[in-house]
């Protein structure tokens, strides 16, 4: 998707879920909404929180577990989000 397409998509969305990555910077144009990022258990970066907070998004993290075998650098590892964690989160929304 182009940058403009990403921005248009985020402007229209009411609820956004995703593993933390650069694309979440588009939250800056999203309308005020509950937004969420899955995130590995550690380290937790606050970067997208700081993008979301001034706009008033309801931003939260779901902690996932790193798949240590997937990458030598912890911050780049694939993650596993337990189904029950996602289920509980979605049921509460």
Site string for other proteins, 2-41 (x = CB under 8 A): xxxxxxxx-xxxxxxxxxxx-xxxx-xx--------x-x-
**Inter-CA distances, 83 with 64, 67, 70, 86, Å:** 10, 15, 20, 5
Q: Is the CB of residue 47 less than 8 Å from the CB of residue 28? A: no
Q: What are phi and psi of 64, to 5 degrees?
A: -110, 165
Q: Does 62 bind other proteins (CB under 8 A)?
A: no
Comparing CA positions, the residue from 1, 11, 34, 32 lying closest to residue 22 is 1
Q: What are phi and psi of 39, to 5 degrees?
A: -155, 150
Instruction: Find the shortest distance in angstroms from Cβ 3 to other proteins.
Output: 4
Instruction: Find the shortest distance in angstroms from Cβ 50 to other proteins.
Output: 5
Instruction: Find the shortest distance in angstroms from Cβ 42 to other proteins.
Output: 14
Q: Which residues bind other proteins (CB under 8 A)?
A: 1-9, 11-21, 23-26, 28-29, 38, 40, 45-47, 49-51, 53-55, 64, 67, 70-71, 76-81, 83, 86-87, 90, 93
């Amino acid at each position: 998707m182009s940058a403009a397409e990403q921005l248009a998509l985020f402007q229209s969305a009411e609820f956004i879920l995703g593993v933390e990555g650069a694309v979440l910077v588009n939250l800056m144009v999203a309308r005020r909404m509950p937004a969420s990022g899955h995130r590995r258990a550690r380290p937790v970066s606050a970067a997208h929180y700081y993008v979301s907070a001034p706009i008033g998004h309801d931003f939260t993290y779901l902690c996932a577990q790193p798949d240590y075998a997937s990458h030598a650098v912890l911050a780049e590892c694939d993650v596993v989000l337990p189904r029950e964690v996602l289920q509980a989160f979605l049921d509460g929304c």
